[in-house]
Amino acid sequence: MLKWACWTCFLCTDGQVVHTLPEGAPVVGVTILGGQVFVLRRKERDQVEVYDVITYRLQRCLTVPGALGFMDMTSCEHFLCLYISDHIVQSVHSLGLQGNATQWPVSDKPQGLSVNAAHNVLVTCGLARTIKEFSPRGDLLRDVTFPDDVIHPWHAIQLASGQFIACQGYSKDFVHRVSKISEDGLEIVQSHGEMSGSDTGQHNLPVHMAVDNNEFVFVVEINNRRVTLLSPTLNYVRQVVSRNQVKWRPHRLYLDVHRRRLYVADNQDHHSTLTAGRVVVFSI
């Protein structure tokens, strides 16, 4: 009972800005690995900036060889490596902490990335409407197709139960929502949102998520310029980050459960082209 009471108190606390990393090239990924913050920017070299997780001081930069276009980044604590999706060469880049790199083909345009409990990489392919599960070495293990009414998924995360949480909806799509999907991908178990909008029961371009240890879901929405918190049954809980707390439009996020920090990639866009970015760190 005490544990739940503490957790409820945690949920009621508004997000507060504690730090902002420097502005620069657009940010398309942020994660934590080995006590360091990794920020992925769209530029020709030194694309991965590495910051200390306590002081937020820049430590070094890593270059991703052979990269042409970035969509997302995630990390694996077990194998101590980063995974980066590249929609132009249709590959996933694997990058070690010292900069050693490999890549493997996806054979579709990859978008969102996540790592499941088996330490495998889940690649969401929006146009193909599939989740591709790869081993850490890049072997394709399975291909899960989304239900027919899940159009243009951006990002998927696998829960301990084997079910998936996925967000969907391109700019011109009618449906913008977050769904819990069965392990075989055949049916939607629960969902939140439908027609795009800004009310508490709606989403507008939900493109990226984070799930905590209790399966609460953090959803970043580009057009609503907010981060929304959903319960494990995908009911609305509250707004974690509001439009007044970001300078531009949020695109990616990472949840540091242990330190209660939420990292939000905030990007400026001009005619649908990202022109600048930064990471805002929130205490939640």
**pLDDT, tens digit (0-9, with 9 covering 90-100), for 4-45:** 334 444 455 568 999 999 999 999 999 999 999 999 999 999
Instruction: Return d(Cα 38, Cα 152) in angstroms, integer.
Output: 27
- pLDDT value, residue 262: 98
202-239 pLDDT, tens digit per residue, is 999 999 999 999 999 999 999 999 999 999 999 999 99
Nearest to 76 by CA among 114, 37, 27: 114
224-282 pLDDT, tens digit per residue, is 999 999 999 999 999 999 999 999 999 999 999 999 999 999 999 988 889 999 999 99
- pLDDT value, residue 97: 86
Q: How many domains is the chain built from? A: 1
Provide CB contacts within 8 A for 134, sequence distance 6+. 92, 104, 120, 121, 123, 140, 141
194-233: buried (b, 16+ CB within 10 Å) or exposed (e) per residue?
Answer: eebeeeeebbbbbbbbbbbeebbbbbbbbbbbbbbbbeee
- pLDDT value, residue 12: 52
163-174 pLDDT, tens digit per residue, is 999 999 998 999
CATH of the domain at 26: 2.120.10.30
pTM over 0.75: yes
121-156 pLDDT, tens digit per residue, is 999 999 999 999 999 999 999 999 999 999 999 999
Provide CB contacts within 8 A for 230, sequence distance 6+. 178, 192, 216, 217, 218, 219, 236, 237
The residue range of the domain holding 160 is: 2-283
Residue 98 burial by CB count (10 A; 0-12/13-18/19+): exposed, middle or buried?
exposed
